[in-house]
Every structure is written in structure tokens, then in C-alpha cells.
Structure 1
């Protein structure tokens, strides 16, 4: 018996994150805890990789080690410059550049626990620098050297503009990173664990995950959400736009979820941030349009907004180009991928499911002269 899309299929045991009764937790900590306490993203990364929140000494050591890895080096930057000349989607650039990090890492083929942890630090630290550098290079601007005195969220925003970011912007990005850090066995995480189960290297596992995240039914949905908002702003009527899309059986991005039934708990905080950041500003139209779309979809289809829907507005207000939205997702989710890769390797068994064959049996081979051809359009 098969289940379409492996829905409700349990593929592994994990201690990392759980979705239970429409709540999301990391190692038993509900995300409400992190939001209410304004937890730093780096604390959550430490938790995902170590299974406990750090004490003061552990945290300072972790931050120092992580921030020392921010820089990507001239060789990687040169490759980014070349990719800027190509007609490439930014997710393809990120995928290829992360793979390239493995080429320059002399210990890339080492798979012991200590090596995987060092590789994890490098990937977590360098992905924001890759994204910010690419963003500037394709605009004809020089990359900005990372600032090891800044948090991961603050440093990323600094590398985009060269200016120390506003506190509200750092808080918004930090919250988004915390909310996206891990999400049970989503498609990209599952892909990473499958790759890890073959005993492949860490860089290959993360590259596999990035390729999976690129799809519009996974991480790419938030980019499509903002495309929709821009089209509605041009058209001028959200309800008419959505009803036309529904009548033509088109999928509305940012709504519905395979696991959550009543609410995506991450969306609550992203909606709150979108409202706070756009209130009484020129960007208020994006929040207003989003609310209008949400109301129509709830009324017509009974679907809930997911994490992608309001994150699109948050990222836009932060000055991030919409085709980079999915890369911000990756900048956070790599923390979860790396946790799952390490967990998979500790109690590994090759992930090798079966398929249900639906074709014919007992076919007979004929010489080419005897075969009846089939015409293909």
C-alpha cells in the first residue's frame, strides 16, 4: 500500500523537533518560549546541535567560534562574481556555492563527530555572507566584510547595506530565523537525512537540502507570495484577483499545510512582525493586502496561512529582494539540516524505501526490425 507524498508516514525517530497538536517545539521548548523571551537565533542553533541551551561560558565560546567563520575568502567570492554574470536563480547560486565550500575545505571528506561539527559551524557562518555578497555583486557593488562583533542577523543586514541595522530590523530577522530553524521531517530535511544515510559528506547533504528547498512547493513559496501581492496591488482588488485564480484552479501560495490543521504557529508571530514593521509606513499596503487575501481564502477555501505568507512582507520591508526570500529560509533552516545530519549519522541505517510497481511483467525482447513503433508528438 502506498501513501501519496508519504503523508502521515513515520520515517525516523528524532529528538530535534516536534509538531504536536498544531504546536512546534525544538528539543521540548515550544517556539512560544523563544518568542516571548526574545531568544537569539544562535542560542537556538546551539540547542539544535547540542540538545540543550548553552550556559554563559558555552554560549560565548560558541559565538566566538561561529563568528570567526563569517568570512568566505577570495576564492569563493571570485566564484560568486562569475555566477553573477549568468542568468541563474539565486537558489542555484547558493546551491553551487555551498557545494564549492566543500571543495575548499581540506577536511570535507571527514565524517567523524568533531569534523561534522566544524563543518557545521563553517556552513552556518558562511551562508549569510554568501547571500549578502551575491546580492551586492549582482548590483555592481563590492561585498562588505562581515563584522564579527555582530550577531548573525545583525551582521547579515549590515553586509547588505554597510550600515549598522536598526534594532527593530534585527529583531524581526532574528525572530524569522528562529521560527524557520527546524520543522520536523519536511522535504528538505528528509532529503538531507537520506543523503546522510548513505554516509556522504556534510556539504553534499546540505547541497541536497538546498536543491529540495528551491522548489515552489517548499521554500520557494514565499517568493511566489510576493509576486501575488504585487499583482494584486497593480490590479487593485484582492477579492476579485483571488476568486479569478480559484475559478481557474490555480494554487494560491502561502496557504494550507500538510501537518497543521487549525493554525501554523509560526505564522502568528510573522503576521505580528509584518504589522509592526509596516504600521504607518509606505509599506502598509502589503500588510493590508495580505490580510485581505487571508480573509478571502479563509472564506472561500477554509485554508490557513502558513509560514511563507507573512514572511514575504517581513523580508520585503527588510529590503531583501524577493528572489532572495528562499535563501533567507535556507540561512535559517541549515541549522536544522545540520542537526538532522548529525543525528542521522549517530544511529544510521541506509534510507531505502520500496516502490509499488504499476507496469507490466513478462515483456519479451524483440529484434529492432520486428518492433512495432510508437509515434510521439
Structure 2
């Protein structure tokens, strides 16, 4: 089966993924003009322009109120949910939220992962959940709910960069799932739950956690070449390299690498850890280009995602949930676009089974 490669299944004004030239455009703005320059609320104002009219400040105020409503749902966070993975716990809590196709539902769904993921992390560690604080930005509040402390401006900027960078990325598997469900008029919550289900799969959710496992195994920069060449000789995949769409370097990798350097300059990133990662990246790219010259296997978003989220204090088992906290804006925007301008998605299939007698 083709996996629908190169099949155009929707028209969208939300994002353009140019895999040939390594370019990502969100609502008419190149990623490098957004990442590190605007808060998550700013990109939501673009994605939600036809859904929640208002500028960055207005969206931020409404999102803050929605975080407060989401926190009330943690009364249902019991031991049975804590036995689940962070992703499964997030999905279960999200399933309790009201469904609908209005801006209030959209904002609550957008706010909820930023509340639920830190709470799940803390409760799994035996700590109390931290309530959101009005007046904080979305990224600042998410970090405060994770750590229980006031986050540094550099940390807030780094998380904002991440959330903006992953906010939307064309018709990927989870976004397509959201659009299919939205096309049935099931509601935005149902669409987001479908997207979360798709994101849970390892072929879409990616491998930012295993990137850290690889760095831990390498240990130090001067061992990178030997470790990586041995892994390639075994036929192992090098985590954080290659992408199904991009034939050149993933532009999101550059945005996150720049964020890491800014975080490091402010003292929020372990310099040795960053040096190790950059040594691994250099050696991996060199080895991959020699071993597979017919394929363009460049650094993808997962490589520096792992370093950034680790530096901000998120455990690797929660990385998928943090990704959902950023991508949920795109999911909802696509669901709204499908409801507003699309129709029921109902493709045809080609029967290749046995002939009837």
C-alpha cells in the first residue's frame, strides 16, 4: 500500500510543508520568522483566526482562564489513571472534556494538555499537582506547573519556541485523523482524541526519547564515531535523522538548535550535554552521507526536541504529551477548517480480495 503518498486530500490555509526546499510556512509566516520571536499565543492567534477572533493578548487571556477550568478536571485523576503512561493518561483526561465546535471548547482543549501533562508527571512522582496562575503566559504556566517554581525567561522562551515549532505541520497522520473525525461533525474533542490516538503510535510520534538513550550510550564526544559506525554496521537506525517528507534538513531542527544555544547562553543548558549532542550530530551526518549516498538523511525535529525538553525538566516518557501540548492548536485549527470549508471525508478503496463465487 502507498500510504497515500503524494495524494492531495485537503486544501488548507494553515501550513505548507516544502520537503524539497526544507521550508515550513504557518499561516503565511515562515517558521524562522515565528520560532524564537513569538509566544505560543501568537501562533494560536494565526491558527485560530477564523475560530477565536482576537490578537495574541486576547487569546492569552482566554487561554489562561481555560487552564483554570482544565485544572478542575484533575479531581478525576485517580490511581487507575496514574498506572497508565503519560500519553494514555492525557488521552483519558481529555476524553472527559465537553465536545462541540465552538471557541470555548477549542480553547479548553488547547489549554488542557499544558495542565494535564505536568500534573501527570508530578502525581506519578508522588507530588501534588500545581495549580495554574493567572497572568502567566501559556509556556510560563506550563513550566511553573511542572516544577512548582518560577521559570526563567530563557526557559519560557525555549518552551515557546518548541510549542510554536511543532504547532502545525501539514497533513501528518494525527492531523489527518483529526480532520476525518471532524468531517463527521463529531466535535473538536472527538477529533483531538483521534489525533492523540494516532500520535501514540511509534511510526508517527517519533523517537525523541530514544535520542537521549543514544546520547547516553555514546557517553562522550570522542566516542561518537566508533559508537555510531558500530550501530550502523548492525543495521540500527540512528535516532533523530531522516524524515519522510523533508529531502533536506528539517527546518524545525534548526529552530530548536538555536533555542538550545540561547538557553545554554543563559545557563539553562548543560554545556557538556550540548557538546556531546553536536558531536553526535556531526558524526552521524558524515557516516550517513557516506553509507547511504543515495538518500538525504538529515537531522530532523526529534534530535533537538529531546535535548530541549530534557533541559526544561520534562522526563522522556512525557515527550509525546508535551508534543501534543503544542500540536493541539494545529489539530483544532484543521478540525475547524474541515468543518467550515470541507465535507465528509470518504475515500474509495480498491478491492483485491478473492472473487465471489
Is contact 1:194-1:351 (8 Å) kept? yes
- Please give the alpha-carbon distance, in whole angstroms, between the structure 1 residues aligned to 2:58 and 2:72: 28
| 1:213-265 superposed Cα distances (whole Å, 9 cap, x missing partner) | 12222224112212222222289822222223222222222111122112211
Shift of the 127–72 alpha-carbon distance from structure 1 to 2, 3 Å rule, reads farther
**Is the aligned partner of 1:325 residue 2:323?**
no
- Please give the alpha-carbon distance, in whole angstroms, between the structure 2 residues aligned to 1:346 and 1:281: 43
Matches within 5 A, 1:171-320: 171-233=157-219, 237-278=223-264, 283-302=270-289, 303-320=297-314
Match of 2:293 in 1: none
**Is the aligned partner of 1:50 residue 2:49?**
yes
Is contact 1:221-1:253 (8 Å) kept? yes
Q: Which of 329, 345, 348 is the aligned partner of 1:354?
A: 348
Match of 1:94 in 2: 90
Match of 1:22 in 2: 22
Q: Which of 337, 341, 346 is the aligned partner of 2:335?
A: 341
Residue ranges of structure 1 left out of the alignment (5+ in a row): 364-377
Is contact 1:274-1:311 (8 Å) kept? no
| 1:102-138 superposed Cα distances (whole Å, 9 cap, x missing partner) | xxx3xx2x44xxx2x2111011112211111111111
| 1:31-76 superposed Cα distances (whole Å, 9 cap, x missing partner) | 121136x211101101101169987xx4433222221111246763
Q: Secondary structure at the match of 2:25?
A: strand
Residue ranges of structure 2 left out of the alignment (5+ in a row): 290-296
- Please give the alpha-carbon distance, in whole angstroms, between the structure 2 residues aligned to 1:281 and 1:60: 27
Query: Mean Cα displacement is larger for which, 46-55 or 220-229?
Result: 46-55
- Please give the alpha-carbon distance, in whole angstroms, between the structure 1 residues aligned to 2:238 and 2:65: 42
- Please give the alpha-carbon distance, in whole angstroms, between the structure 1 residues aligned to 2:127 and 2:174: 32
Q: Which of 110, 116, 131 is the aligned partner of 1:124?
A: 110
Match of 2:73 in 1: 76
Is contact 1:43-1:53 (8 Å) kept? no
Match of 1:142 in 2: 128
Q: Secondary structure at the match of 1:18?
A: strand
- Please give the alpha-carbon distance, in whole angstroms, between the structure 2 residues aligned to 1:44 and 1:129: 19
Whichever of the two has the greater Rg, that structure is 1
| 1:4-46 superposed Cα distances (whole Å, 9 cap, x missing partner) | 222222111011111233211111111121136x211101101
Q: Secondary structure at the match of 1:25?
A: strand
Shift of 1:199: 1.8
- Please give the alpha-carbon distance, in whole angstroms, between the structure 1 residues aligned to 2:63 and 2:112: 9
The number of residues matched between the two structures is 347
With the length of structure 1 as denominator, give the TM-score of the two structures: 0.85
| 1:78-117 superposed Cα distances (whole Å, 9 cap, x missing partner) | 332324541x22111111111122xxx3xx2x44xxx2x2
- Please give the alpha-carbon distance, in whole angstroms, between the structure 2 residues aligned to 1:263 and 1:43: 25
The RMSD of aligned alpha carbons is 2.4
- Please give the alpha-carbon distance, in whole angstroms, between the structure 1 residues aligned to 2:94 and 2:220: 37
Q: Secondary structure at the match of 1:71?
A: helix
| 1:287-313 superposed Cα distances (whole Å, 9 cap, x missing partner) | 222222222332222311111111110
